[in-house]
Structure 1
Amino acid sequence: MDSFEAAMHCAVEMPPRKEDPPAHRTATRLAVLSTPPTTTSFRDSRAARFLPAVVVLMIWLYLVTYSHGPLDLRQRYNASSDAVPLGDLWHEYFEDYYPMTIAMIGGSLIAGSTPLGGGVVAFPVAVLIIGFTAAEGRDFTVLIQTIGMNAAGYLIVLTKAHLLDFTIVSAFIVFGVPGVLLGLSLNVSPFYIVLTFQVLVLEFAFVFFYLNILAPRDSPSAVPTHNGSADSPDTKPMRAGLAYGSMALAAFAGGFITSKVGSGSDIVLYAYGLLVWNMIVPESRRLSDTSLTASSVVVMGILSLVTSFCRAMTFDISSDVIFCWGATSWVVCIGAPMGSLFLTPGLRAQMRIAFYLLAVAQFVGFAVLRIKSGVTAWIIIGTSTVVVVSFLSFHAKLSLKSIRSRGNHPEKLSAETIKYRLLTV
């Protein structure tokens, strides 16, 4: 029997297909008709991400086009003042402050790709290029982050709320606010305020580079194991006291730094989470890089709002700062959601490299223009660098010990490995 005859034989021998009973066919049709069509809610749409931008832009267009009186309240209500009412603010916003508008485009991208707010760009540009005092640079930084960081925080709550850790967010807000208030009540030399910012960014660049490039990791061929305890730190009083006590101190320090340079709580939260919290608590309670980044955005947005409110209610914000804010607020409210849409992993890696270069470049510029041969400043810089490098070395030893305790081998740190880590997220 050839293949054709075999096929015909099977066809003849095959029993006829049974038809579905009418009741079954009717039930199938009803099930298909009753299935709701797959739709995307407005909350999940891309348009929902831009709601803060829409609100800010409407307010901004009103302010920039409508005729206004003097911004200085003392001039507005002083009959002897010869202050001239302002017309539209296009000229005041962009004639002197367009460099900040351009700079904050990059600031928005850095804020969207690293655990840093736009303040890492805003403060040095405001002080070193625009010519603001340290206090004015701080005021501008918190004002611009009030919009940019809270727009980013809204986006996180909308699309990635699961990344937020309530414990660390609430602690850094509750203990950060007293730090902000204490910092606002103390007078510090403008030079040391700028020095604090430069040291903060430089040392964080070291920490960020270590965590992303140099930190020990399991070998790719290692078999994942879990030997850590599932206990919460709350079940061990000494561990709980160390974890939550150090968190409160870090939050207070972050708030104090924010009150002086307009940024800092986000940096402190991220560094504390990876270098301290994750080394104290059991493996089940450790926080990921993405969770810490998302939490730092929300904390920085709220503390920026607190600082801005305190400064505004005491009438200490100058009109120059308001004009500069007006020239840039529309950029950051768009930049936050745009960054979330268009920043690919490859581009985020490039923005991290840009941050490393920016941190070094702005420190070199500050050292040449401001520090020069100031012995005290160099002692502060050297001491802080030694402390940070020593702590990172200690962290590396603990990480290697943890990897080996799980029966794994650390990944060999070669030039190829460094290049791979540098170019990937």
Structure 2
Amino acid sequence: MRARLFPLWLLGFYGAWLALVARGDHWGTVVAHWPIAASMALGSYVAGATPMGGGSVGFPVLVLLFDLPATLGRDFSFAIQAVGMTSASLYIIASRRRVAWRLLAWALLGALLGTPLGLRWVAPHLPGGVAEIAFAVIWASFGLMALTRLSELSGASTPTPTTAGFDRAVGVAIGALGGALIAAVTGVGVDMLICVVLVLIVRADLKIAVPTSIVLMAGTSIIGAATQWLSGGFAPETFEHWVAAAPIVALGAPLGALVVNLVGARLTLALVSGLCLLQFAWVGLVQWQRMGWHSVLLGGGGLLAFHLVFRWMNELGKRMRQRAREPVPGPERSRRCGERAGPRLTSDDGHEPALSSISSAPMSGVAPPWGRSSPSRSTATPALGSARPVQVSSSAARW
């Protein structure tokens, strides 16, 4: 059933798109807006292959190249990613790619809360030009961080074990803050945040971080597009650009997701970093003509702030990885193993079984992974040729 998910989605989407265009006689609109469709051919590939949403190309093209309002660029990013990144997400699920599901689930919940609040209370009150500068600064900071640590980040393969509490707190923060302060302003960015957390703090491979970021941006885009639609609908220009580009991104984003699984992590990270810095230079030139030194101060201050944040996250990731590798004696080891390794064996009365009974006694219950270890106890088990009992600790019995 999972293997049929992606083909069924494509069949349903293209059928609905054809019906929409034919019934509304939008063929002329599709042809007239071919430039944005051509731009999103690249944008959709970037969306599926990197932790940068398709709006990372659509936003600057509409706002900087076509000189349209930033709100229109944001709304178009939401609308087009709701198609392209949803298509890539379904391909990822159908092909059974590795995804950090627990962290992702909490991040989606946070985005559900934060994105509508940001669209209502944050984005409308920002002065002109701030959205474009914020967009460029966020991605340039990520690009600089990635380039300066390219070997270190692309070499990460085994994620640092995390607890359920860590995933819950960090996931909700990513979705809520990223949705309210970044995605609600630019239409993208929350995918970058979860990718940075997975790569810098958890030390996950990019082939886990990128699919996770794609699924999160797809959900955030659907939330943002639905919020804007229910709040009064989209501007006519947004629909015109969307109807021309939607059939392109429906296939382009899954193609990017396919390619990223074939190429090395180092090449993917270098590609992302180069695109980030290119966008920053582009936005900087445009905003310099409009705002002068104010744009330099905003851009430079933003780069410094994000650089410090990313550096702190990288150091936190190093400490977490070092702590995970340190041998921990006794009950503390049992507690950490229980938090990270998941369920443990328990008997009917809630106590852990003795080592001699694990092979013969059925598992009757599962304790929560964050549960507290029971104290060590002795189990009378006759040794070979001796009647003396053998002392077995609870941690030994568990493992």
Per the TM alignment, residue 318 of structure 1 is displaced from its structure 2 partner at its CA by 0.8
Residues 78-113 of structure 1 deviation map (CA, whole Å, 9 limit, x = unaligned): xxxxxxxxxx21212231x21111111111221222
Change (3 A) 1:319 1:208: same
CA distance in 2, matches of 1:103, 1:119: 11
Per the TM alignment, residue 118 of structure 1 is displaced from its structure 2 partner at its CA by 0.9
CA distance in 1, matches of 2:316, 2:89: 33
Letter in 2 for 1:273: L
CA distance in 2, matches of 1:216, 1:109: 20
Letter in 2 for 1:119: G
CA distance in 2, matches of 1:351, 1:275: 16
Other-structure match for 1:170: 105
Q: How does 1:23-422 map to 2 (within 5 A)?
A: 43-44=2-3, 49-66=6-23, 68=24, 88-95=25-32, 97-160=33-96, 163-186=98-121, 187=124, 188-215=126-153, 233=163, 240=165, 244-256=168-180, 257-276=182-201, 278=202, 287-341=204-258, 345-346=262-263, 352-372=269-289, 374-394=292-312
Unpaired runs of 5+ residues, structure 1, are 1-41, 69-87, 219-223, 235-239, 279-285, 408-425
Per the TM alignment, residue 200 of structure 1 is displaced from its structure 2 partner at its CA by 1.5
Per the TM alignment, residue 135 of structure 1 is displaced from its structure 2 partner at its CA by 0.7
CA distance in 2, matches of 1:380, 1:314: 31
Other-structure match for 1:18: none
What SS is found at the alignment partner of 1:263?
coil
Q: Work out which of the two has the higher radius of gyration on C-alpha atoms and give 1 or 2.
A: 1
CA distance in 2, matches of 1:344, 1:274: 16
CA distance in 2, matches of 1:50, 1:303: 23
User: Do 2:75 and 2:238's aligned partners in 1 also have CA atoms closer than 8 Å?
Assistant: yes
Change (3 A) 1:399 1:173: closer
Tell me how large the CA RMSD over aligned residues is. 3.3
Change (3 A) 1:180 1:374: same
User: Do 1:133 and 1:190's aligned partners in 2 also have CA atoms closer than 8 Å?
Assistant: no
CA distance in 1, matches of 2:318, 2:218: 35
* Larger deviation, residues 190-199 vs 354-363: 354-363
Residues 120-152 of structure 1 deviation map (CA, whole Å, 9 limit, x = unaligned): 111111111233211110110000000111111
Letter in 1 for 2:185: K
Per the TM alignment, residue 343 of structure 1 is displaced from its structure 2 partner at its CA by 5.6
User: Do 2:207 and 2:260's aligned partners in 1 also have CA atoms closer than 8 Å?
Assistant: no
CA distance in 1, matches of 2:70, 2:322: 45
What SS is found at the alignment partner of 2:129?
helix
Identity of aligned residues (%): 22
CA distance in 2, matches of 1:58, 1:297: 24
Per the TM alignment, residue 383 of structure 1 is displaced from its structure 2 partner at its CA by 2.2
What SS is found at the alignment partner of 1:317?
coil
CA distance in 1, matches of 2:17, 2:279: 31
Letter in 2 for 1:334: L
CA distance in 2, matches of 1:98, 1:338: 20
Per the TM alignment, residue 216 of structure 1 is displaced from its structure 2 partner at its CA by 9.3
